[in-house]
Structure formats: structure tokens, C-alpha cells
Amino acid sequence: MFANADIPPLIPRPAAMERYGDDFELASDTAIVADAANCNNAAYLRDLLAAPTGFSLPIVLTPLADAPTPAKAIRLKTDPAQAGGREGYRLDVTPETVEITAAAPTGVFYGIQTLQQLLPIEIERRNLVSDLRWRVPGLVIRDAPRFPWRGFMLDQARYFHGKATVLRLLDLMALHKLNVFHWHLTDDQGWRIEIKKYPRLTEVGGWRRETVVGRWREDEANPPFDGARHGGFYTQDEVREVVAYAAGRGITTLPEIEMPGHAQAAIAAYPELGNTGQQLDVATRWGIIENVYNVEEHTIRFLQDVLDEVMDLFPSQFIHIGGDEVPKKQWRESAAAQRRIQELGLKDEDALQSYFVHRMDAFLAGRGRRLVGWEEILEGGLAPGATIMSWRGEQGGIAAALAGHDVVMTPTHWTYFDYYQSQETNREPLAIGGYVPLEKVYIYEPIPAAIDPIHAHHVLGTQAQLWTEYVPTPEHIEYMTFPRLCALAEVAWSPVTGKDYPGFLNRLRPHLERLRLLGVHFRPLDV
Ligand code: ACM
């Protein structure tokens, strides 16, 4: 085992690690030897190492009958017998070889991420670093994730940051072995994905006239606005590029199309989707907004058309339909909504929402997909195939898991990265409120005590949420996300045994130097 000072500062901490023997040293004649399944991994590794080392490492694809066995090599191997599932891997470092073995290429990819973190932090530089010995400590690591769902949610509706920001975040997610990018693409304040059949969604819904300034308060009659038009959207070509880029890093992109609430941008584009017939603007202020979709057949068809285009773009098994914070006022006051409740023989507005979610669940299931929504879709009865995200606390997740539904634990108390990182809020950029410091993220346990071992497998995992009402720039995204995402990654990947906050901080300090070289605008530990 490692002497303490010797532990490489890996984040997330691997499941098992032992030190033995001498270091491996990367040299210009080191070959990357890979089987056919790891062709992309080999190219990824070569490109990762090229700029700072100045080495253009040869790739040798096996089996090649006459391929000479290189003296020094990094070997990338697929072996169906390797333990650890699709994402697990084994990494062996001796003076002659670095060998990464996994049951699937995704596991090898994670082994490469570990190798990257074992190399000197200068490996993150994008220009040549001379006079440095590229050593990897001799060791063996056996690693596999604790949870299959290790996510990061980014709200692109409140502020739009564009493709380059997303690609960079995907790289940083991969470095931390996260595997679900939850892309919140529509909300009251903006519709951010091109839908060919309904161009006004982005022409109109993609832009708001201005944005409220400062902390939004429901009771403030005349808040200040910035007078600046804000908007933008991802074209379908950009979406395909993001999805492919993520897939190349083991990341599934989960699209979220909000319904039946958080819908004002869409209703501004197509007023017939609403309940009042009124021509609305795209929302310019935050909070929970009364303008929700109606539940008429034409609206259900519209949303299913949107989902059809979304499913063409996103191969993700799960499709997120939002479902949170749906005020029922307009349904209560609308003659059409009341008629619909009568026609369908429903009890009340909660049952109407449940009916709506059931329709979407059946629609997605009919196309081989699975619906996921925020926990409010429990209200009025959960659709049979639905998976929920438990955000207001743990209760929704507990209820759903005990009823046999899958859940992703996303409670505000531990996973909301729009909350403050310090109690000295006057020293922090304006945030929505709350208090989720690094340690709170780190100590989070995604399987609540109330879920017995029989049902624990329904907890698929956890993810961080970054809502962006108060996060206008990419630098600010990074400030809110790091280092808390390092802690979340460890919660989702590493075994509970060995969880230790001071130990995590010891690894985090050098890891932050790595992030600094990557240009990440993380929040410093001591401010
Ligand atoms: C949420 O924070 N409204 C899911």
C-alpha cells in the first residue's frame, strides 16, 4: 500500500490501488499498442500527450502478425473477462509498460483519464514543456464506478453560453469520470434547440428583450432591467457535434425539454399552446411562472413532434421532460382545461398533469426510450416507466425507489451548484441563495437510509445542478462548478469505504493546480 504522502492525487479516488516497483517514464519511442476496439482511445491518448511532450507516439494496432514488440509501450486492451463492468478498468504501471485493460473501450478511456492524472500536471499544457521527465508511478489500480449515473446538469435557458463552453465542460466532466451531461434546453426565459418543424421556437422563443438585474424578488413591483437583448440557440448540427463529442468521452447527453410548465418561451412563439390566448413575451424575470402549456391534443402533438426531432438527435435512452414547478392556476381558471378534466374523467388538475405525463411516457416508451422528470411528476400518480430526479429533498426519491422506480438523487441541499459556496455571501458573486459548500457536496450519500438494500439499485446515481439565473458568463460557470464537481465526482464514482474529507482535500490541492493549468476559473479553497 501507499505511504500517505505517496498517494497520487487522483480524483475521483479509485476503488483499489497498490504501489509497487519503479516508475514508468514516457519517451519519444514509447509506442501505443492497442486492439482494434481501442483505436479511438489510442488516437485520443496520442493527441493528449503530443503538445506538452513533443512526442508523436506511434500507434501499433494489434493483432499485426509482423508488428515488432516495442521495448516500451502503453497497451490498451479489451478483455471481456476483466472485472468492473463496462466502465471499470485495471491499470498496471511497470518500468516497461503502462497497461490499461477493460471489458469495454469506455473502461479503457477511464484508465486513460487516470493515467493523465498520474502524469505531471504539466501534461495539461498546450505547448511544449522541455526538461521534464514524464514519469508515472509504478502501481496497480483496479477501478470501477459506484454508480452508473454520474451527471452534471447545465441550464442553458436562463443564460445561453454556446457550443465552445459546452465542449470544454465535457472535457472537464470526462477528466472526473462523469458520464451524463444533462442539457436543460428550454425554459420560460429561452428556447435553445433548433426544431425544424417549429422555427418560431428559436426565432421568437430563443430571444428575450431584457433581463431583470440583481436578486429577483417576487414582491418587488418595479425591479430594474438591463435593457439588453439576450439569446441564442444550438442548431441541430451543433447538437449533433456536442452529442458526438460527449460520446467520444463516455458521456451520454440527456436533453431536457420542459413541460408542461416552464414553457413561456414556447408559448410566446406559439400562443395556441397556452391557456389564455394572450400574446406573451419570452420571460425576462426569474421564478415560477403561471404560463404553462394547455393539455389539448394539438399541444400534445406539438410536443411529441418536438420530441421526435429530439430523439433523432439524441441517442440517449432517457429523455427528460421536466415536469417541475407547474402552477395549476391557469388550468383551474381555463374553461378548456376544465372541460378536458371532465372529458377524461379526471379528479383534478394534479390528475391532469399526471395524465399529460402518462401520455409522454407512453409516447417515449413506444419509441424505445425512457422518460425522466423532476419529482413533481409523482403528483397525481407516477407514469409506469418513469424515472424521477429527487430535487426538493430525498423524500421523492425514497417514495419512487420503494415503489420500484429508478431515481437520480439531485437534492438541493447537496447538489445545487447555483447555491452559495460560502456563508460570507458578500464576498461571493450574487447567487440565488442557499449554502452548498464543498464539504457538503463531498459528504453527500446518494442512497438515503430509508431505502433498504433490496431497493438500493433503483438509485442510479447523482448529479450536480447548475441553474444559471445568476450565472451569465462561462468563467462564472466554472467558478460555481469547480471544485464542487470534483467532490460530486468522488461521491458518484468512489466507494463509500475510505471516504475522508481531509484526505480528499489533500488530493484536491494538487488537482486544483492541474485545473489551473487547464485555465479553469475554479473557486479557490481559501478565500
Ligand atoms: C428545479 O430546481 N426546479 C428542478
Q: Decide if pLDDT at 63 tops 80.
A: no
Which is catalytic among the residues 176, 184, 230, 262? 262
CATH number for the domain spanning 32: value is: 3.30.379.10
Q: Beta strand pairing status for 97-102 and 89-93?
A: antiparallel
Is residue 325 among the annotated active site residues? yes
Atom of ligand 1 nearest to the CA of 262: 3
Are 459 and 397 in contact, with CB atoms under 8 Å apart?
A: yes
- Do 84 and 161 reside in the same domain of the chain? no
Mean pLDDT, residues 246-275 taken together: 98
- Do 104 and 175 reside in the same domain of the chain? no
- Do 24 and 135 reside in the same domain of the chain? yes
Segment 209-221, tens digit of pLDDT:
999 999 999 888 8
- Do 286 and 377 reside in the same domain of the chain? yes
Mean pLDDT, residues 14-38 taken together: 94
Q: Percentage of residues in the chain with pLDDT exceeding 70?
A: 97
Q: What is the secondary structure of 323-354 as a DSSP string?
A: ------HHHHH-HHHHHHHHHTT-SSHHHHHH
Mean pLDDT, residues 268-284 taken together: 98
- Do 173 and 83 reside in the same domain of the chain? no
6 found inside a domain? no
- Do 124 and 22 reside in the same domain of the chain? yes
Segment 384-431, tens digit of pLDDT:
889 999 999 999 999 999 999 999 999 999 999 999 999 999 999 999
Q: What is the secondary structure of 126-137 as a DSSP string?
A: SS---S---EE-
Mean pLDDT, residues 21-44 taken together: 95
CA–CA distance, 316 with 306 (Å, rounded to integer) = 15
Which is catalytic among the residues 187, 188, 256, 394? 187
Q: Decide if pLDDT at 33 tops 80.
A: yes
Mean pLDDT, residues 461-472 taken together: 98
pLDDT for the residue numbered 221 = 87
Mean pLDDT, residues 18-44 taken together: 94
526 found inside a domain? no
- Do 126 and 200 reside in the same domain of the chain? no
324 found inside a domain? yes
Atom of ligand 1 nearest to the CA of 412: 2
Distance 180 CA to ligand 1 centre (A): 18
pLDDT for the residue numbered 66 = 56
- Do 134 and 187 reside in the same domain of the chain? no
CA–CA distance, 369 with 360 (Å, rounded to integer) = 11
Among 66-80, 120-134, 172-186, the least confident range = 66-80
173 found inside a domain? yes
Is residue 511 among the annotated active site residues? no
pLDDT for the residue numbered 68 = 64
Segment 388-398, tens digit of pLDDT:
999 999 999 99
Buried b or exposed e, range 164-194, using 16+ CB within 10 angstroms: ebbebbbebbbbbbbbbbbbbbbbbbbbbbb
pLDDT for the residue numbered 108 = 98
Atom of ligand 1 nearest to the CA of 465: 2
Q: What is the pTM of this model?
A: 0.97
Q: Beta strand pairing status for 207-208 and 190-191?
A: unpaired
| Total count of domains within the chain | 2
pLDDT for the residue numbered 253 = 99
Q: How confident is the model at residue 3 (pLDDT cuts 50, 70, 90)?
A: low
Report whether residue 493 contacts ligand 1, using a CB cutoff of 6 Å: no
525 found inside a domain? no
373 found inside a domain? yes
Report whether residue 419 contacts ligand 1, using a CB cutoff of 6 Å: no
Are 387 and 371 in contact, with CB atoms under 8 Å apart?
A: yes
Is residue 187 among the annotated active site residues? yes
Residue that finishes a domain, picked among 93, 127, 143? 143
CA–CA distance, 260 with 274 (Å, rounded to integer) = 10
Distance 324 CA to ligand 1 centre (A): 6
Q: What is the mean pLDDT of the chain?
A: 96
Distance 84 CA to ligand 1 centre (A): 33
CATH number for the domain spanning 262: value is: 3.20.20.80
- Do 206 and 235 reside in the same domain of the chain? yes
pLDDT for the residue numbered 526 = 81
Segment 305-346, tens digit of pLDDT:
999 999 999 999 999 999 999 999 999 999 999 999 999 999
Report whether residue 324 contacts ligand 1, using a CB cutoff of 6 Å: yes
Q: How confident is the model at residue 64 (pLDDT cuts 50, 70, 90)?
A: low
Which is catalytic among the residues 238, 290, 325, 428? 325
Residue that finishes a domain, picked among 82, 116, 143? 143
CA–CA distance, 50 with 59 (Å, rounded to integer) = 13
- Do 485 and 383 reside in the same domain of the chain? yes
Quote the Cα angle for 118-123-129, to 5°. 135
Segment 487-524, tens digit of pLDDT:
999 999 999 999 999 999 999 999 999 999 999 999 99
CA–CA distance, 363 with 111 (Å, rounded to integer) = 38
Position 273, amino acid: L
Q: Decide if pLDDT at 70 tops 80.
A: no
9 found inside a domain? no
Atom of ligand 1 nearest to the CA of 389: 4
- Do 173 and 213 reside in the same domain of the chain? yes
- Do 244 and 293 reside in the same domain of the chain? yes
21 versus 476: which is more confidently predicted?
Answer: 476
Mean pLDDT, residues 88-106 taken together: 97
pLDDT for the residue numbered 19 = 86
Q: Which domain holds residue 396?
A: 149-517
